[in-house]
Amino acid sequence: MGYYAYHLALREEDLQGVRLALIPGAPERCTKIAQAFGEWQELAFHREFRTVLAYNAVGKILVVSSGIGGSSLSILLEELARMGVQIFLRVGTCGAIQEHIEVGDLIVSEGAVRLDGVSEHYAPLAYPACSDYTLLWLLKKACNEMGCRYHLGITCSSATFYPGQERYDTFTGYVPRALRGSFAEWQKLGVLNYEMEIATLFTVARVFGLKAGALCGVLVNREREEAVPVERVEEVETILARVSAHAATLILKWLEEGNGVS
Contact between 169 and 84 under an 8 Å Cβ cutoff? The reply is no
Q: Which of 48, 79, 166, 237 is catalytic?
A: 79
Q: Which of 29, 114, 222, 242 is catalytic?
A: 222
Contact between 4 and 82 under an 8 Å Cβ cutoff? The reply is no
Determine whether 114 is an active site residue: no
Q: Which of 90, 151, 167, 246 is catalytic?
A: 167
Contact between 111 and 202 under an 8 Å Cβ cutoff? The reply is yes
User: From residue 254, how far is each of 59, 176, 201, 234 by CA, in Å?
Assistant: 11, 46, 21, 30
Report the alpha-carbon distance of residue 66 to residue 77 in Å, rounded. 9
Report the alpha-carbon distance of residue 5 to residue 79 in Å, rounded. 6
Determine whether 246 is an active site residue: no
Dihedral over Cα of 199, 205, 206, 212: its sign: negative
Instruction: Catalogue the active-site residues.
Output: 7, 79, 167, 222
